[in-house]
Structure 1
């Protein structure tokens, strides 16, 4: 006999169906909340709301739920991407800091300008930012700091005229008159028609010349005073013999004084000439001691021009400079006048230093733009170069191994056979 289902058995399907309905409703509600969370996250990203600061988000205030943890992970990922963009965009930030520094400088707020330039340099060092900060230091009379900044600017760009000009000003105030003149001189050679730099060079040269004149005058004065003292002592010794009152005659005494005076003048003149000769010799020897290997085209050219008219010192500079380092030293700063002058100097001492001369002739063509410089030489310089090559570099007394090397170098110097 079939069993009649009880009331409990009849209610079970209904309960199970209700459970399924509740489960479906709960799943739909979760999906709806998830959509709302995603839309809220998109809005926050668009308007740039930082929920870590305002703390108004439900899921940030209560990150215990799974949804809240997911949102936090997504937010942190976005933050990392944003920080990466900021790092890559540092050059823009450096430029904006520099521009802000320029605005402060125009308003004569030099300390604030220095702060801005310093931040710009921390982000991206440039020659312009260093030179600008140097100018602000000059306004505050911080000349040592200005000199250092100009040097840093020239390390980044060794042909930056403003850095040379501002360093010249700083060095003048620091009493480094020779260095000040050299900086102004180099800036003028970079821009010969700049009237402001012309005036700066003239002032720097006048100050340096006056300083030299004072030194020479003091030396001559000291030497003259020494000679006069010697003459007085000599005159005194000559007048010591005792002469009776009856034998004194005024005329011979006067003549003796005049003769001694002439001798004194002659001795003074000779002593001054000797002093000048000794000073010149001393200056040459001291210059030879202070020749250091240049590390840039600026240093080489300043030293070379400083020894203008003295081939011996110029050749000492060549000896102090490693020929292999020429491309690194000059980069693209070699000029035609300097090149032809170096070759003439090499020719002067070629017989004494053949090996060094050949090494220079081998490495000079490795300097940037060498071929262009050779092509742009004047007809007179080309003729002079060919004459030097044929009469000095390829004469019979040269060792055969050097002759072959020089023969191979002919085409690079555009010298015909």
Structure 2
């Protein structure tokens, strides 16, 4: 495959290599001359020819600060040589580094040209060479796009993850990874990527469309799983109900008042029996039918209760599975995704928070911490403060070290400030708080803009 034309920087590198070779040859010749100078000095032979002398009042002028011309040559020439050699070496190294960067950029541009021509395999090769020379988030994301075109979805997902490791606010990497994950059947992760991309750029129509599609697909998946589970449960209950009906039909016989009276001998005249019997026959009460109806009503009620119980079990199972998936986040994006997923359950949110080392908070959030997340974290810390005071105080201290923290607390709403004041007074600075922790928390009031 044809490579892009090499740039002028490569020619400069070759020229510098030639200069270095000339310097090495000059160094060897200089060493030979230096040996001759030393030999002449040992025999006390004149070192400097008459052409090198200057006449001033009939005397030779010697360079200032040197006892002889020999000393001047032996001290200055190696210094000049080493100085020039080092400067040229640094210049050549810098040129080679710039040349590598130029090559990486040219390879990326070549990849873009191939991509425009729909030569995706050639584009992938160019992007790969660019990454090998100088890896960048853009090169990884561009190669991921090429992978999507040739349906290498797992490679595309991996490249997007690499791009996000280098730049966790790169919208295109989130969008392309969402596409790859949709094709891989990872609908939940696809929705999370699309949602975060939309939060970064709310007015982007293309990302809005991608988010809507991802949300629709994920909701259909959940609905399908739920309906399947409910259908299986209802089918099982109907089978049980039919079995119960058969058993009850054998045990219960239709009983009427006329049958009972016919079996009972009443010592009265036949004239009296006939009208009474006829009236009773008209008011027969189908006891078995009433029993069946009551049974059906009870079965429906039981079915509804079973459905509710099933829904509760499904929710519990989801929470359990979610708890199993809790792992330490390494970026603000990962934290927010996990945090929102556990919304409403402070115990699980506390568990997520405890997977993080407090000292790692500034590195995780960088400039991406938001006011709502900050307030939620403080509320969560308050939920386990009484049990693990040392850990809670450490979290509060390290939150203040997150970049832009002072700006965030200035943006707190009046409601948020009221919540923090209440938490500080009732939880962090309560009478039950040991003195050593109470002093630290009081000193942090000003950082959180909380007045006493």
Classify the TM-score, shorter chain: 0.7 to 0.9
Alignment partner of 2:407 out of 361, 372, 397: 372
Q: In the alignment, which of 205, 210, 224 is matched to residue 215 of structure 2?
A: 205
Give the Cα–Cα distance (whole angstroms) in 2 for the partners of residues 404 and 245 of structure 1. 83
**Cα distance in 2 between the residues matched to 1:309 and 1:242:** 51
Q: 1:229 to 1:91 in 2, by over 3 A?
A: same
Q: Alignment length, in residue pairs?
A: 349
**What are the within-5 Å matches in structure 2 for residues 10-21 of structure 1?**
none
The 1:84–1:229 alpha-carbon spacing in structure 2 relative to 1, beyond 3 Å, is same
- State the partner residue of 2:445: 410
Q: Which of 412, 416, 419 does residue 384 from structure 1 map onto?
A: 419
CA contact (8 A) 1:138 1:146 kept: yes
Q: Secondary structure at the match of 2:174?
A: helix
Would you say 1:318 and 2:328 are equivalent positions? no
Normalized against structure 1, the TM-score is what?
0.77
- Cα distance, 1:305 vs. partner? 0.9
Question: 2:160 touches 2:174 (CA, 8 Å); kept in 1?
Answer: yes
Aligned to 2:309: 274
Q: 2:172 aligns to what SS in structure 1?
A: helix
Residues 114 and 250 of structure 1, relative CA distance in 2, 3 Å threshold: farther
Which string of whole-angstrom CA distances, capped at 9 and with x for unpartnered residues, describes residues 284-318 of structure 1? 22222221111221111110011122222211211
Deviation at 1:83, TM superposition (A): 8.5
Per-residue CA deviation, residues 348-383 of structure 1 (Å, 9 max, x unaligned), is 333333332211111111112212222222333233
1:159 to 165, 169, 173: 169
User: 1:81 and 1:380, CA in 2 relative to 1: closer, same or farther beyond 3 A?
Assistant: closer
Distance 2:246 2:421 in 1: 68
- Tell me, in whole angstroms, the C-alpha distance in 2 between the residues paired with 1:156 and 1:175: 26
Q: CA RMSD, aligned part only?
A: 3.0
Question: TM-score by structure 2 length?
Answer: 0.71
Structure 1: how far apart are the matches of 2:163 and 2:288? 72
The verdict on how the C-alpha distance between 1:409 and 1:245 changes in structure 2, with shifts beyond 3 A counting, is closer
Who is 2:109 aligned against?
A: 99
Conserved? CA contact 1:154–1:163, under 8 Å:
yes
Output one character per residue of 1:132-153: Cα deviation in whole Å (capped at 9) or x when no partner. 1111111111111110110010
Unmatched 5+ residue regions in structure 1? 1-44, 53-65, 71-76
The answer for the alignment partner of 1:9 in structure 2 is none
Q: Between 264-273 and 373-382, report the one with greater CA deviation.
A: 373-382
Given that 1:331 and 1:368 are in contact with CA atoms closer than 8 Å, whether structure 2 keeps it comes out as yes
1:290 corresponds to which of 322, 325, 331 = 325
* Corresponding residue SS for 1:416: coil
CA distance in 2, matches of 1:227, 1:409: 60
Cα distance, 1:339 vs. partner? 0.8
- State whether residues 397 and 444 of structure 2, in contact with CA within 8 Å, keep that contact through their aligned partners in structure 1: yes
Show the 5 A alignment for 1:168-187.
168-187=178-197
Show the counterpart of 1:393.
428
Specify whether residues 100 and 79 from structure 1 end up closer, same or farther in structure 2 by C-alpha distance, changes over 3 A only: farther
Secondary structure, aligned partner of 2:446: helix
Question: Which position in structure 2 is the counterpart of 1:21?
Answer: none
From the two aligned structures, give the one with the greater helix fraction: 1
2:124–2:143 CA contact under 8 A, matched in 1: yes
The 1-side partners of 2:114 and 2:358 are apart by 47
Distance 1:126 1:252, change over 3 A: same
CA, structure 1 residues 256+92, in 2 after alignment: closer, same or farther (shift >3 Å)? same
The whole-number CA distance in structure 1 between the counterparts of 2:230 and 2:311 is 9
- Tell me if structure 1 keeps the 8 A contact 2:252–2:288: no
- Distance in 2 (CA, whole Å) between partners of 1:129 and 1:244 is 83
1:84-116 CA-to-partner distances (Å, cap 9, x unmatched) read: 734442111111111111111111111111111
Q: Does 1:349 align with 2:349?
A: no
Query: Retained in 2: the 8 A contact 1:228–1:264?
Result: no
Give 4+ residue runs of structure 1 displaced > 6 Å after superposition.
77-84, 244-247
Rounded Cα–Cα distance in structure 1 between residues aligned with 2:435 and 2:255: 88
Of residues 115, 138, 144, the one that matches 2:148 is 138
Residue 116 of structure 1 is matched in structure 2 by 126
For 1:405 and 1:79, locate their aligned partners in 2 and report how far apart those are by CA, in whole Å: 55
Once residues 211 and 379 of structure 1 are traced to their aligned partners in structure 2, the CA distance between those partners, rounded to angstroms, is: 41
Structure 2 spans left out of the alignment, 5+ residues: 1-10, 19-24, 30-84, 260-283
2:337 equivalent in structure 1: 302
Q: Secondary structure at the match of 1:294?
A: coil
The answer to whether residue 157 in structure 2 is matched with residue 147 in structure 1 is yes
* Alpha-carbon distance change, 110 to 79 in structure 1, aligned in 2, over 3 angstroms: farther
Distance 1:282 1:100, change over 3 A: same
Q: Which moved more, 1:221-230 or 1:370-379?
A: 370-379
